[in-house]
Chains A and B, each alone.
Chain A
Amino acid sequence: MSVILNKDSRILVQGITGSQGSFHAQQCMEYGSKIVAGVTPGKGGTTHLGVPVFNTVKEAVKETKADVSLIFVPPPFAADSVLEAAYAGIDKIICITEGIPVIDMAKVKKHLDSLRKAGRKIIMVGPNCPGVITPEECKAGIMPGYIHKKGNIGIVSRSGTLTYEAVWQITCQGMGQSSVIGIGGDPIQGMNFIDALKLFKDDVQTRAVIMIGEIGGSAEEEAAAYIKENFNKPVFSFIAGKTAPKGRRMGHAGAIVEGSSGTHEAKVKALSEAGITVVENLSEIGAKVAAALKTAKAG
């Protein structure tokens, strides 16, 4: 088992004819992912990378039965692309695009929430994220495929390159990953840590979880509270930004909304109190996980 993606996932790529979309769609194909269609308005009827290109997601879904959308559409049009996928019936939407205005994401969230209230089970990952991979089955994203290995560690992360770092260390320890989810670091995003943890909780393949966070926001604190009450697999965490300079702040609204949460200290405290192993040295993530799981096995 795995989460979000498996070998049967049928992916359509929105923005497949752009340079990024084209390059990464090809990389995903080479990894073994089933890319079944592309969507670029105005290029319907053509073929790109050996798959049919459609003008609309609706058409693409009807013709190819795609069930995952991977989005590389530029920022001015990306939010609309997410909604196009959602309203065309796709329940797994992965948006790689970086630089989408926050208010656009607030509007997307409103629509996705109302679709969910109507019974749809939509998962949206991103934006501004590396995507999702289930090693040796399916890759929908921009991560380098070869660093991954099938295994039983679930990884969820707010940062792209930090995810690769954790993945690679796990692979170097002779272990592997069940699925890796890059949720992205934008202020308003689709899936958050808790959503990802819920998936890993029910996944029998996943034995332990690595959660990579960073300063700002309160997602890590909320995840800690969730883990304390609801999650019984070992969780390891790394939080980037311990030494980051405090931003010059203007106005008071941010502080009023977020209070004291968001600092490195507050996050580490919340995570530790929830029984999560917080790794301080970036380069020791893999070793710490390996050692802890070995001990657990021996015990």
Chain B
Amino acid sequence: MKLVEYEGKELFAKYGIPLSKAFGVIKNREDISKIKIDSYPCVIKAQVLAGGRGKAGGVKIAKDKAEAEKIMEKMLGMKMVTHQTAGKEISVDEILICESANIEREIYLAVTMDRKAGKPSLIACAEGGVAIEELAHSNPEAIIKIPVDPETGLLDFQARELAYALKIEKEVFCSFTDTAKKLCKLFIEEDASLAEINPLIVTKDKKLIALDSKVITDDNASFRHKEWDNIPDRESSEIEKEAKEIGINYIALDGNIGCMVNGAGLAMATLDTIKLAGGDAANFLDVGGGANVDQITKAFKIILKDPKVKAVMINIFGGIMKCDNIASGVTEAAKNVNIKVPLIVRLEGTRVKEGKEILAKSGLKIHQADSAWEAAKLAVQLAGK
């Protein structure tokens, strides 16, 4: 799950990573007049998941109370498009108000999982800020990567080596090595898949401060982080959340052919097959390996909630999930939900004969296909009618 800036900073604070003073988070208009801002100028920051918010008007500086209130009024509820939102508008529902800082120098510091090395990697660059990705392309030597032992975390000498490589000023040297170690500790203990400080700044009066935070957590670890239950899912649409609650992986897409598939790989390949057959899928839906009749019924209802859907293609290769279970789920759902669109089913695998028989005898109008390609062609044809 992706955390917004103030949630990431709460984790930073827990590990003792230095932060600028925060005056509070505004979530509704009544809070604007109540917030107590001790010093000006202050920084008002939109709490959204997409990067590039500064350029889109999501970060403003206010020199006094009147200006701060004016900016907060305008920013709360504002619609924003940044280079990371793929052309879509996102709404600003929360804003963070912090003390402003006199920046002398910006550094980039992050920990992520290096799949290739199979361990966390601390990534740093002497020049932080917004242009870090471009820099990584144009001048990859400027990026320093340090492998982190997943059990011991960053070692003292590694932190020192990094500080020397980045030419960290002596006034903040210890604060820097300490911060680097703490960020690695946070990454490991909080089950993060990304913990990023960009920028990590040195102020004119020689203090090290994490000015922003980006933290993504590993959903697989939720069983040992009950505190994550309180963090809202800001990324999924309502229908995606509903799917998640019943253990179904659903992502809405732009086409008109609804899909129900088992396994993420086969689900992706099914989207590709539909495209190859000249159509577009309305969704990605992986019912998982152990879905039961009830779950398939629910998956069906979720697919049919999308008004764009003109046909539904089911592509199941039964391993753990047996074809007769799928067939029962499909017929049961079809009887519960009033299906008005053509239904194309391709079943293969364990108990396929029984599954196909259940479908054939259901009395429902179901088009059966023997391969994914046949099913996709049929779906494209029927959706187009």
Same assembly: yes
Complex Cα distance, B277 from A283, in Å, reads 12
Q: A254 to chain B: which residues have CB within 8 Å?
A: 112, 194
A to B contact number (C-beta, < 8 Å): 202
Chain B contacts of A283 at CB under 8 A?
273, 371-374
Chain B: minimal CB distance from A194 (Å): 11
Give the residues from 221 to 253 in chain A that come closer than 8 angstroms, CB to CB, to chain B: 222, 238, 240-246, 248-253
Asked if B85 lies at the interface with its beta carbon under 8 angstroms from chain A, I say yes
Min Cβ gap A13→B in Å is: 16
> In the complex, which of the residues A146, A251, A258 contacts B194, with contact meaning CB atoms closer than 8 Å?
A251
A residues near B136, Cβ cutoff 8 Å: 252, 255-256, 259
Interface residue B114 (Cβ < 8 Å from any Cβ of A): yes
Q: What's the tally of chain A residues with a CB closer than 8 Å to chain B?
A: 64
Complex-state Cα separation, A146 to B274, whole angstroms: 28
- Which A128-171 residues have a C-beta within 8 angstroms of B? 130, 142-144, 146-147, 157-162, 164-165, 168
Q: Count of chain B residues with Cβ under 8 Å from any Cβ of A?
A: 75
* A279: min CB distance to chain B, Å: 11
B265 at the interface (CB under 8 A from A): yes
Task: Say whether B265 contacts A103, CB under 8 Å.
Answer: no
Q: Are B123 and A253 in contact (CB under 8 A)?
A: yes
What secondary structure prevails in chain B residues at the interface with A? mixed
- How many angstroms between the C-alpha atoms of A146 and B371 in the bound complex? 18
Residues from chain A with a CB closer than 8 A to the CB of B193 are 102
Count chain B CB atoms within 10 A of each CB in A185, A222, A243, A281 and give the residue with the most: A243
Chain A residues whose CB sits within 8 angstroms of the CB of B268 once the complex forms: 214-215, 240-241, 244
Q: Contact between B216 and A130 (Cβ–Cβ < 8 Å)?
A: no
Tell me if B264 and A185 are in contact (CB < 8 A): yes
Q: Which of B108, B235, B251, B270 contacts A245 (CB 8 A)?
A: B251
Q: Which residues of B contact A (CB under 8 A)?
A: 2, 49-51, 84-86, 108, 110-116, 118-121, 123, 132-133, 136-137, 143, 145, 149-151, 188, 191, 193-194, 196, 198, 214, 216, 218, 220-221, 223-224, 235, 251, 253, 261-266, 268-276, 281, 284, 289-290, 317-320, 348-350, 371-374
- Interface of A toward B, CB cutoff 8 Å: 20, 24, 75-76, 98-103, 105-107, 109-110, 130, 142-144, 146-147, 157-162, 164-165, 168, 185, 187-188, 212, 214-215, 217-218, 222, 238, 240-246, 248-259, 280-284
| Sample of 13 more A-B contacts, CB < 8 Å, known A101-B220, A165-B348, A245-B253 | A76-B223, A102-B113, A109-B118, A160-B319, A168-B348, A214-B268, A240-B268, A250-B216, A252-B132, A253-B112, A253-B123, A257-B115, A282-B372
